[in-house]
A and B are shown apart, each in its own frame.
Chain A
Amino acid sequence: MTDYDAIVIGAGHNGLIAACYLAKAGHKVLVLEGRELPGGCASNRELAAGVTVSDCAQWLGQFDRDIIKDLKLVEHGLALGEVKRTVALQTDGKHLVFDGNSVSGAELSGEDRDAYRRFTRQMNAFAGLVQKLYRQRPPKLVDSNWRDRWTLIRLGLGLKLLGRENMRDLMRVALINIYDVLNEHFNHAGLKAAVALDAVTGSTMGPRSPNTVFHYLHRKAGDRQGQEGPRQVLGGLGALGESLARAARSQGVTIRLGSPVAAIVKDHDRVAGVALATGEQIASRIVLSSADPTTTFKKLLGYRHMEAGMARRVEHYRTRSGTAKLHLVLSELPAFSGVATAELSQRLIIAPSMDDMEAMLNPIKYGEVGDQQLFDISIASIEDPSLAPAGQHVMTALVHYLPHSPKEGWEAIRSQVVAQLLNQLEAYAPGLKSLVTQVELLTPADIEASYGITGGNWHHGELSIDQALMMRPFPGSTQYQSAVPGLFLCGAGAHPGGGLMGLAGRNAAQEILRQGALS
């Protein structure tokens, strides 16, 4: 006898979404979460008295609209802010503002502005095709069934429908780097860097690295099916986690917080449940893991419980990350040179040029900290005053590139790195340092420690072509079904990958229901 039809490991957004869809289909589902809060990377933390920070992720841009509708998340309390414009800060104060498909800025030529419109139109068309692939299981190529072949046919037709030139262009650029593509389109260095930032976020790639166009399309596909661009969740990203938890409970899902899973348990040749850190064993017909593949297979299942070739694939699965997060509590609203106060609530980014970005990347390849970083900044308390006591503000920034394991060890250099980051921000926002009442740096290693994401990689594994689509996470464990019977993947380590998108959870649940794994 089993206690549950399905156990979902992890109450991150993908785990909760998978649980909701399974429960909606009438199954008895238990979600186990090690932390005391639901949401995983979509969670809040009280950074100082009365100051709430979106602890891990920062923006919600790619979250699937259908999931919001299907799970009635708005009724369960989800409220989103406005779509943000992106202000690319320039050293000379002549900033660029990206608003949907248009860009403006003092130093920008008409040619670049037109090129940007053309570029976004083309990328959107490509992203539309990618999106088709994202909303279903990735097709197998050889052992394909009619469903896979139908996906491939639709993809082929979609390619044809792009028109011959676009089709050729997509096949040309899909595997290459954003550096060359942007140089083909634009002249303004800051413009190119601002676009390139979206192509490298959350990775250890620089603009010159092949695969960055794919990475960019991943993000664009997310925006398209999601929220049209970065938004903040009112009440902090934790509110998304909370609303998902409420939605899940309303479907009859049991969520146990503070219950870390210690192991996935096998009975004979299939997965039969989980063991908690407390020693408690819970049986279920299937287990879905929303943890990253390395955690799922190496830590929870254990290499000894799978075949050796699969263990080798897990070992080779790449989970490097060069993204850190900086949290600041400010005594009052800062001033950024050349940015109107009304614009401060927008997304502010610092990315000087693609060549600078590339130079910034170099040190982390060798476990070193460079002296310049890229920033993706949000002052969430402007649009959402509930996040900080009146007058005070909370500012967060995604910071690229910082190494996961610097040679000296993080503790030896942390305060020095924090000072260096503040100095860089000070250059754009004079006086900022004097407003900082509290500062915290979450390095990739910290993110790994707090959220159990191997390598601190928020995509649950590098999102390069060889670890994407039908290769995600690795051959033998694709289509959400791991090579171990009874164990499914429903996290960002499964197709279509990371970012707060929710599709991995939804697709996994749908695939399980379709396969009849629970019937």
Chain B
Amino acid sequence: MTSPDRNLMLLTTPFHRCIADVCELNDWGVWMGYTTPNAYFDVELEYFAIRSTTGVFDLSPINKYRITGPDAEAFLNRMVTRDVSKIGVNRVGYAVWCNDAGEMLDDGTIFRFGQNEFRLCSYQRADEWLAWCALGFDVVIENESDDVAALAVQGPTSCTVLTLLGCTDLNQLKPFGIAHYEFDGVPLAVSRTGFTGDLGYEIWIAPEKAEVFWDRLFEVGKDYLIKPIGSYALNIARIEAGFLQARVDFVPAEEAVRPGRTRTPLELGLAWQVDFAKPLFNGREALLRQKETGCTYRFVLLDVEGNKPAHHSFILKNGKTIGTVTSAAWCPTAKTNLAFAQIQMPHGESTDALVAEIYYQRELHWTKVLAPCKVIDAPLFNPARRRQTPAPPH
């Protein structure tokens, strides 16, 4: 008899066998209750696969909700801050959502498969919040997290590799577009989306075909130097691309315990996501008020002098602490020492002379560095191939 406690072990994704075969470091982490690789062979080499060849990341644990019904669009439109009606069929949109106080709950992507058919991918589990949001709407919400296997296939050669796999004319797919194919007798959806800021795709397929897909992908990709990548490498890429992560760059509002720890989209540099022209969405009244009265914090990207990543650093201005770093990395392609920081208003203007107080240890010796840093408008890594259609040949 199997112990019931064992039945509740960490889950493995549909790609697990394939991943375990090639995970040379055997370095695993936990993501959404699944065993996922932190690194396969070398974090830096994995990172460069994304930027120079093709990196493959197992995306299966991400939360996926199928949203259908006559009110599906209206439902999503009330839930997220952007205008969902502007997302066309077979298009994907980034979205953030808030509670009534305008505090960020999470961000994610909305896939539109039909007039009344959507998939919401969210970083946090959202079953309860979706159920509350669904009150009064004629929608059906199904958690399909376990029913869809997903891979991120990212990098300059990714289009070529997937085309070889049978994704005809994939280079014609515009950023945030979705194309539908068949693979081994089952539907295969490919979206030109990703968390790396590079040319790249995400593929969505039935779990039964996951292993076959992986094997075929690596077979055809071999000559294009395809590599599996783990979460450490992905994290560098997402910071370089300027993407936020829930629980890292902001506290999801319904998990916040201490007063003043939540942030609104306006305070997280996501004002472009908030469409006040929409009549109603969660947090609208509060965000409108905040727009008038002003924010308490702002979210900035910092170019930090030197090469010491400013992990968890305080940000100082004239010797006074005015903020803290939430994410930081040395970005190997942009050759930048990048940090995301939450700064108290009114500080954090591009003209401000800011300093990051960085502590690092070498041979048991702690060093404090006061590294000047400057506020930058946009991530320094933003290659043309990310936006080009047709996608450039490698």
- The segment from B88-96, B280-288, B310-318 found at the interface with A is B280-288
With A310-B100, A311-B132, A315-B135: A304-B279 Cβ-Cβ less than 8 Å: no
B71 interface residue (CB < 8 Å to A): yes
- Please pick, from A269, A304, A312, the residue contacting B132 in the complex, using a CB distance under 8 A: A312
B136 to chain A: closest residue by CB: A303
Q: How far is the CB of B35 from chain A (nearest CB, A)?
A: 34
Q: How far is the CB of A302 from chain B (nearest CB, A)?
A: 5
Cβ contact within 8 Å between A268 and B279: yes
Cα distance, A269 to B281, chains bound together (Å) = 10
Residues of A within 8 A of B79 (CB): 308
Cβ contact within 8 Å between B279 and A308: no
Residues of B within 8 A of A309 (CB): 99-101, 132, 282
Residues 87 to 135 of chain B near chain A (Cβ within 8 Å): 99-101, 129, 132-133, 135
A266 to chain B: closest residue by CB: B279
- Please pick, from B71, B74, B100, B285, the residue contacting A308 in the complex, using a CB distance under 8 A: B100
Residues of B within 8 A of A268 (CB): 279
Residues of B within 8 A of A303 (CB): 135-137
- Please pick, from A304, A307, A312, A476, the residue contacting B74 in the complex, using a CB distance under 8 A: A304
Q: How far is the CB of A77 from chain B (nearest CB, A)?
A: 43
Cβ contact within 8 Å between B100 and A304: no
Cβ contact within 8 Å between B99 and A483: no
A314 to chain B: closest residue by CB: B135
- Please pick, from B101, B136, B285, the residue contacting A311 in the complex, using a CB distance under 8 A: B136
Residues of A within 8 A of B71 (CB): 304
B78 interface residue (CB < 8 Å to A): yes
Q: How far is the CB of A414 from chain B (nearest CB, A)?
A: 32
Cβ contact within 8 Å between B132 and A483: no
B286 to chain A: closest residue by CB: A307
With A307-B285, A308-B129, A311-B132: A269-B280 Cβ-Cβ less than 8 Å: yes
Residues of B within 8 A of A310 (CB): 100
Cα distance, A266 to B285, chains bound together (Å) = 15
Cα distance, A309 to B129, chains bound together (Å) = 9
A306 to chain B: closest residue by CB: B280
B99 to chain A: closest residue by CB: A309
Cβ contact within 8 Å between A305 and B280: yes
Cβ contact within 8 Å between A307 and B136: no
Cα distance, A305 to B282, chains bound together (Å) = 10
Residues of A within 8 A of B283 (CB): 307
- Mask for B151-186, Cβ within 8 A of A = 1, else 0? 000000000000000000000000000000000000
- Please pick, from A269, A305, A483, A485, the residue contacting B100 in the complex, using a CB distance under 8 A: A483
Residues of A within 8 A of B129 (CB): 308
Q: How far is the CB of A505 from chain B (nearest CB, A)?
A: 26
A475 to chain B: closest residue by CB: B100
Interface centre among B75, B101, B135, B282 (most CB of A within 10 A): B135
Cβ contact within 8 Å between B78 and A304: yes
Interface centre among A310, A311, A315 (most CB of B within 10 A): A311
A476 to chain B: closest residue by CB: B100
- Mask for A309-352, Cβ within 8 A of B = 1, else 0? 11110010000000000000000000000000000000000000
Cα distance, A70 to B14, chains bound together (Å) = 74
Residues of A within 8 A of B74 (CB): 304
Residues 269 to 316 of chain A near chain B (Cβ within 8 Å): 269, 298, 302-312, 315
With A302-B136, A476-B100, A483-B100: A307-B282 Cβ-Cβ less than 8 Å: yes
Residues of B within 8 A of A298 (CB): 136
Cα distance, A128 to B324, chains bound together (Å) = 52
Cα distance, A311 to B99, chains bound together (Å) = 11
Residues of A within 8 A of B135 (CB): 303-304, 308, 311-312, 315
Cβ contact within 8 Å between B280 and A308: no
Residues of A within 8 A of B101 (CB): 309
Residues of A within 8 A of B75 (CB): 304
Cβ contact within 8 Å between A308 and B132: yes
Cβ contact within 8 Å between A308 and B284: no
Cα distance, A483 to B100, chains bound together (Å) = 10
Cα distance, A412 to B326, chains bound together (Å) = 63
A308 to chain B: closest residue by CB: B133
A267 to chain B: closest residue by CB: B279
Residues of A within 8 A of B78 (CB): 304, 307-308
Interface centre among A308, A309, A483 (most CB of B within 10 A): A308
Residues of A within 8 A of B284 (CB): 269, 307
A301 to chain B: closest residue by CB: B136
Residues of A within 8 A of B281 (CB): 307
B254 to chain A: closest residue by CB: A309
Residues of B within 8 A of A311 (CB): 132, 135-136
Q: How far is the CB of A232 from chain B (nearest CB, A)?
A: 42
Q: How far is the CB of A317 from chain B (nearest CB, A)?
A: 13
- Mask for B61-79, Cβ within 8 A of A = 1, else 0? 0000000000100110011
Q: How far is the CB of A389 from chain B (nearest CB, A)?
A: 50
Cα distance, A59 to B137, chains bound together (Å) = 41
Cα distance, A237 to B75, chains bound together (Å) = 45
- Mask for A104-136, Cβ within 8 A of B = 1, else 0? 000000000000000000000000000000000
Q: How far is the CB of B48 from chain A (nearest CB, A)?
A: 43
Q: How far is the CB of B140 from chain A (nearest CB, A)?
A: 15
Cα distance, A268 to B133, chains bound together (Å) = 19
Residues of B within 8 A of A305 (CB): 136, 280
Residues of B within 8 A of A315 (CB): 132, 135
- 17 A–B contacts from the bound complex (CB under 8 Å): A269-B280, A269-B284, A302-B136, A303-B135, A303-B137, A304-B78, A304-B135, A304-B136, A305-B136, A307-B281, A308-B78, A308-B99, A308-B100, A308-B132, A310-B100, A311-B135, A315-B135
The 5 closest A-B pairs by CB, nearest first: A303-B136, A309-B100, A304-B136, A303-B135, A307-B100
Instruction: Beyond A306-B280, A308-B133, A309-B282, list 9 extra A-B contacts (CB 8 Å).
Output: A269-B284, A303-B135, A304-B74, A305-B280, A307-B100, A308-B99, A309-B101, A312-B135, A483-B285
